Amino acid sequence: MSFAKVIGIDLGKSTFHLIGHDYAGREVFRHKYSRAKLVDFLSVQESTTIAMEACCGAHWLARKCKQFGHEVKLIPAQYVKPYVKSHKNDYIDADAIAEAATRPNMRFVSVKTEEAQLGIVIRRVRSGYIKERTACMNRIGSILLEFGLSFPRGHHQMKNLFQWIADQNEVLPPLLIAELTTQYEYYNQLNVWIKAQEEKLLALNKENYVAQLLQTIPGVGPMTASCCISAVGSPQDFDNGRNFAAWLGLVPFQYSTGGKPRMLGISKRGNKELRELFIHAARAVMWRDKTAEKFFGTWLIDLKCRKPFNVALVALANKIARIAWSVMTTKKPFEIRV
């Protein structure tokens, strides 16, 4: 078996394509394996560098490779694309991944732990339940509208659904009432499931010291702390808090040429969920002027007077993100500086 300095793996659902490069960058082998065969191959391979795109299933396989003594490099997919030569197929992708992994200035993604991935799963299931609950509530409203009743919007109205129907003094078919009862029970069940997901997140946060530290930051609650732990494999991937905020897309998008700098709106790159939660955290702080002045001094109050609300909101979200990076890096809680 030829020794490879780096092995590029193009991940698939059931098939995986591998290409090995030696120290001169020449191809020494190429293979196509099933998932089970791939694990067997990696388990007997000499310790080397395994490169993959940071996509679905990459972190699970990366943890397996580490157990076998390999060094793992996960590369964002957009950084691999420039190394794809000519037409695109699975072997060409694997070759591009192997080549990209050897570049000295390449950026890599830290491997996530099982706990971090569990947090992602719990939040995604919760988000799915919330969307289904909203759809169920809209479905009930549209059903009533077909029979001449305009049901008010809002979850607080759903608690008194049948009392509201009775107050309208409209005779509805019994079969319609049965359908509404089924939908109402489903709506209440979704509320129970959403609450259960939130309790699971709280339990995960209690076992994670860093998550508890993150919640000392103004506006940061259990949801934001859990997302921060899940999205950021290692805070050391970023040189400073400014780089972390830029990765989240909370900085202006730069489009400069000919020596003329041009700054546009925020780039909105990186993790969409985490960026949204940081903006919600900033909004929670900005709605309370006394709280904002207590934690951030007159800087935020002056900014609100000089800039539009949303501009000040994103600026505060940027600051909270940079504070979160500092808390994760130093393992110290947020403190008010006098």
Per-residue pLDDT, 136? 95
pLDDT-derived band at 179 (thresholds 50, 70, 90) equals very high
Per-residue pLDDT, 291? 67
- Please state, for a pLDDT cut of 90, what percent of the chain lies above it: 56
Per-residue pLDDT, 334? 86
User: Does the pLDDT at position 255 exceed 70?
Assistant: yes
Is the distance from CB of 265 to CB of 254 less than 8 angstroms? Answer: no
pLDDT-derived band at 126 (thresholds 50, 70, 90) equals very high
Quick: pLDDT tens for 32-80.
Answer: 999 999 999 999 988 999 999 998 889 999 999 999 999 999 999 889 9
Quick: pLDDT tens for 190-247.
Answer: 999 999 999 999 998 888 899 999 999 988 999 999 999 988 888 888 889 899 998 8
Per-residue pLDDT, 121? 93
- Please state, for a pLDDT cut of 70, what percent of the chain lies above it: 97
| Mean pLDDT for the stretch of residues 280-301 | 78
| Mean pLDDT for the stretch of residues 100-112 | 91
Per-residue pLDDT, 75? 94
**Tokens 């001094």 belong to which residue?**
297
If we measure between CA atoms, which residue out of 40, 55, 41 comes closest to residue 7?
Answer: 41
Per-residue pLDDT, 186? 96
Per-residue pLDDT, 170? 85
Distance CA 160, CA 132 (A): 20
- Considering only 1-15, 119-133, 315-329, which range has the smallest mean pLDDT? 1-15
Cβ neighbours for 262, distance < 8 A, ≥ 6 positions apart: 254, 255, 256
Nearest-10 Cα torsion for 170, 171, 177, 181? 30
Residue 200, CA distances (Å) to 95, 125, 184, 321 in order: 41, 11, 25, 24
Quick: pLDDT tens for 128-147.
Answer: 999 999 999 999 999 999 99
**Tokens 């979160």 belong to which residue?**
324
- Considering only 47-51, 127-131, 150-154, 333-337, which range has the smallest mean pLDDT? 333-337
User: Does the pLDDT at position 127 exceed 90?
Assistant: yes
Average pLDDT, the chain: 89
User: Does the pLDDT at position 267 exceed 90?
Assistant: no
Per-residue pLDDT, 271? 83
